[in-house]
């Protein structure tokens, strides 16, 4: 009887607990770098794609613990100590992305003098054809914005790779047949902008939790088919990861796992 009463009390408390608001643990202070960095020791990665790269997870305290070897930029293009959320383009939507987790995993496996600079360039809801065509989407010209971030990157170090997660907006009968070719076109543009035709591009599968399972699966097939013909790409699996309850966006735990998997894929294939 005592155990039943305890369970009942716990259930009442749990039911009355308010969910964590999206911005509850957003950092109150961001530290701008006040000393020059050694460009030879700064590895730079750009985040591109749509909402699951921009991040929709809940930021928790662990995501804002600073490490001076993990850097990002602010809206002004200034170098800062990275804290989630890294993206700022969609202030009413942005949450936890995979970038900080990626950086944490990288710095554990490279020389101590190396810093990682994560540059955000993902815009939720954007299609791959909009990226190729430099469309204005949610007040951002997609490819022009990417180009501007590449130019900022070159000031601080060496661009080592691009993390790409996108395809939800292309998961339809009209666009699926062209997705693989559009990846080829866009990645050629990315590499040209970076000045490296062999620049690694790391791609993530779409989530397996979608209500649009057949079309998402076809996009994932196109991603893998493209990667099989491009030795400078790698694909991370997301089939075991969970959504945040909307059957579309990865939750916080899954975002951190994605960051770790992107990092391991880079270290294993391209380091």
Query: Domain containing 94 — which CATH number?
Result: 3.40.50.1110
Please name the residues in contact with 175: beta carbons below 8 A apart, sequence gap of 6 or more. Answer: 127, 128, 129, 169
pLDDT digits 0-9 by tens, 128-147: 999 999 999 999 999 999 99
Backbone angles phi, psi at 264, to 5 degrees: -65, -40
3-state DSSP percent of the chain in helix, strand and coil, to 5: 40, 15, 40
pLDDT one-digit tens code per residue, 30-49: 999 988 899 999 999 999 99
Give me 249's structure tokens.
Answer: 């966006």
Supply the pLDDT for residue 20. Answer: 83
H or E, element range at 235? strand 233-236
Q: In this model, does residue 12 exceed pLDDT 90? A: no
Taking CA atoms, 141 is separated from 10, 73, 118, 134, in Å, by: 50, 18, 20, 6
The confidence score (pLDDT) of residue 15 equals: 47
Residue 185 has pLDDT above 70, yes or no: yes
- Name the domain count of the chain: 1
Max CA separation in the chain (angstroms): 71
Strand partners, 47: 120, 163
At residue 252, the pLDDT reads 98
Is the pTM value of this prediction over 0.75?
yes
Domain limits at 227? 2-269
């Amino acid at each position: 009887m005592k155990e039943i009463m305890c369970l009942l009390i716990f259930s009442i408390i749990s039911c009355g607990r308010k969910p964590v608001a999206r911005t509850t643990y957003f950092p109150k202070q961001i530290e701008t770098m006040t000393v020059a960095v050694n460009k030879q020791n700064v590895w730079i990665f750009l985040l591109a794609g749509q909402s699951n790269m921009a991040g929709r997870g809940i930021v928790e305290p662990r995501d804002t613990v600073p490490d001076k070897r993990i850097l990002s930029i602010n809206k002004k293009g200034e170098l800062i100590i990275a804290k989630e959320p890294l993206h700022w383009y969609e202030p009413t939507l942005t949450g936890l992305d995979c970038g900080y987790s990626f950086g944490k995993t990288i710095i554990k496996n490279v020389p101590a003098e190396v810093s990682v600079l994560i540059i955000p360039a993902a815009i939720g809801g954007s299609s791959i054809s909009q990226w190729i065509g430099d469309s204005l989407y949610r007040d951002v010209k997609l490819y022009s914005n990417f180009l501007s971030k590449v130019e900022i990157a070159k000031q601080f170090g060496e661009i080592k790779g691009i993390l790409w997660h996108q395809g939800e907006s292309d998961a339809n009968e009209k666009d699926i047949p062209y997705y693989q070719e559009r990846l080829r076109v866009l990645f050629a543009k990315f590499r040209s902008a970076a000045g490296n035709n062999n620049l690694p591009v790391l791609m993530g599968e779409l989530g397996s939790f979608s209500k649009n399972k057949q079309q998402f699966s076809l996009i994932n097939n196109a991603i893998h088919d493209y990667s099989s013909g491009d030795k400078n790409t790698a694909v991370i699996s997301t089939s075991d990861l969970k959504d945040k309850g909307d059957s579309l966006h990865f939750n916080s735990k899954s975002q951190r796992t994605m960051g770790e998997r992107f990092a391991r894929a880079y270290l294993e294939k391209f380091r």
